[in-house]
Structure 1
């Protein structure tokens, strides 16, 4: 992430603190090369060896308390207005600063709902509480989840532009896969081709190489988060691929589906075409309904119920997730009311959040039909970032 965008996100954090009426937000870290709080890339941009606090206040003051040997790095970056160095003790300048600001609420990075808001380790939490013990401020601690989730979710124009570029580049690779697919190649062959192209273009991967891309051919494929196998593509197979790149600090995440024609076929069998149509239409139904203020579970209901109504089993995952600096980003998601998703299905969606929409269904005897598109929320609806796949790709 560029320093320009980091500074933009710090300014955005000030606005969110005012919106949420939280006086101070403290990101407390140490040895971030070993164990990094996820928010560091977004609001700091550099690593920290010694105990450090990166503090953003709703009055607009931003202060970093860092070890003396790293002070110059943070002065040069210009992200924080005030840089306070220390040599022997972090505690004294930190407690002095908190007392000077006298906040009513201090947000720190813990959360039972969002891993991206849970970057403070338990040991560092205990240490922070010990520093504040007896000051009264230890009783003014709140979770930073309601700061971090909107900060990660509400994309700026610059962020959206980068994410559009990432999706465009990803779709170009999918087009190359369309030209490459043929019977006799294995799932691993397709994956190796994609990896070679991606690395040749200088892009990173949105997630681990073992499962990015994930390629599936034919009936009874592996689970959605499994890696490619030696299974060969055959005529009459549905093929799908889940793939994304890491581009200029942001991720893409898309899926496409192909059908390999049998000898004598000029179009897909009715069962295959129906499965594709149901997936395509369920995505459009959600795109027509999604807007700021609705909940993710309401969107999941639309697609899930439509797929079940058409005679297919429900898909074994959420309908979609946020995308950003991480491939699974933000707080709210287009999730069902399952215990494992916590409060994420019930949070209201916000303008400028970016979501995937990715239902799936099995087509007996052929494989799985699935698509994954990306949309961002506008003031009163959404716009596709990806160019939606409207027709089944025939090979």
Structure 2
């Protein structure tokens, strides 16, 4: 994709909200409640400030969507999401009563009903609703509707592909910089700058984990000076056109020894097997099992200490998850990482990660840079 994609329209958002309300009804819920955050942006295109003032989207099957919003923010909400009916409230009045008026109609089993709530809803707001509607029940949206954002349409896939291509371009450029003698933080700054150069509006993380730090999967770049002979795990991503990138490659400063090559080859083979397991109808856990089997058979099973993958979209971590016990089937349009790793405490780590989307007959990588170990200076 070149240039800036056409923005999503009011009709696009209306269709998403209808689908969410319908899914809520199918799940036995009386509706869903969405606080400011990624779910609200995905459903409405509105990104309000996340403050102590209550903003809450209310979706109920068969009813028009409504947004409870502070009066001082109502003009911005009306402009950003004209398809919504606004229920504004002013400072000094009770915002939870305004929300309760929308929720208090009898639910399926009497009382106010049972609602899915977006995971990042502030506890004070949920408790405020409970105080007004004591017979209302709530459940996490990830628990109740885990696949709400999981299957991407063509426009979303286009954005994810563009984000992946930008991350790939950043990786190709970072291979040209000097690693030896520089701090991890310096290389991380280079990576962040490259992501922005190639179109990212937001950089979420730039992991640069050298030598023994590579054995920590979520190491944050620090003041360690990278040395010749170090293995270095690079894991970086953010948002471009509102959709995420996330890729990992492991490089070596100078020539690696035989064990380092072997471990990298095992992880690369595991990543390939995980990718080959991607196909419609396969269970999410099948991807994890395929990658993990390679590492276990090579004798490093105890050193693969995390799931094989996570979903990605308007956030870099969301359902579905490629992990043992997740039996949900893969369907075309799902997007997630395949990122096995081996982490040897006190020595080094290796991770190789691509974002993959499920197609009608298998899977397609959204990251296409070489997965061989790159040698850097």
Correspondence for 1:82: 85
Judged with a 3 Å threshold, the aligned counterparts in structure 2 of structure 1 residues 278 and 71 are, in CA distance, closer, same or farther, namely: same
Contact conserved, 1:6 with 1:42, CA < 8 A, in 2?
no
Contact conserved, 1:279 with 1:307, CA < 8 A, in 2?
yes
Correspondence for 1:18: 22
Give the superposition deviation at 1:372: 0.9
Please identify, of 252-261 and 39-48, the stretch whose mean Cα deviation from structure 2 is larger: 39-48
For 1:370 and 1:93, the matched residues in 2 are separated by 49
For 2:73 and 2:184, the matched residues in 1 are separated by 47
Correspondence for 1:318: 307
Correspondence for 1:302: 290
Correspondence for 1:58: 61
Contact conserved, 2:283 with 2:329, CA < 8 A, in 1?
yes
What does 1:220-299 align with in structure 2 at a 5 Å threshold? 221=214, 223-262=216-255, 269-299=257-287
Correspondence for 1:156: 153
Q: Secondary structure at the match of 1:286?
A: helix
For 1:249 and 1:180, the matched residues in 2 are separated by 28
Give the superposition deviation at 1:218: 3.1
Matched, 1:107 2:130: no
Contact conserved, 2:104 with 2:133, CA < 8 A, in 1?
no
Contact conserved, 1:25 with 1:55, CA < 8 A, in 2?
yes
Judged with a 3 Å threshold, the aligned counterparts in structure 2 of structure 1 residues 379 and 107 are, in CA distance, closer, same or farther, namely: farther
Give the superposition deviation at 1:96: 4.7
Give the superposition deviation at 1:2: 8.6
CA RMSD, Structure 1 to Structure 2 (Å): 3.4
Give the superposition deviation at 1:189: 3.0
For 1:129 and 1:25, the matched residues in 2 are separated by 15
For 2:121 and 2:257, the matched residues in 1 are separated by 53
Give the superposition deviation at 1:150: 1.8
Correspondence for 1:27: 33
Stretches of structure 1 that go unaligned for 5 or more consecutive residues are 30-35, 110-116, 263-267, 338-344
CA offsets per residue over residues 82-137 of structure 1, 9 Å max, x none?
A: 2344554556654554466866654231xxxxxxx42333332232233335xxxx
For 1:5 and 1:381, the matched residues in 2 are separated by 31
Contact conserved, 1:183 with 1:233, CA < 8 A, in 2?
yes
Contact conserved, 1:24 with 1:57, CA < 8 A, in 2?
yes
Contact conserved, 1:166 with 1:251, CA < 8 A, in 2?
yes
Correspondence for 1:114: none
Contact conserved, 1:187 with 1:217, CA < 8 A, in 2?
yes
CA offsets per residue over residues 309-349 of structure 1, 9 Å max, x none?
A: 1122431211111122222123x311246xxxxxxx44444
Q: Secondary structure at the match of 2:221?
A: coil
CA offsets per residue over residues 59-96 of structure 1, 9 Å max, x none?
A: 26222233444333333234534234455455665455
Contact conserved, 1:24 with 1:107, CA < 8 A, in 2?
yes
Correspondence for 1:394: 375
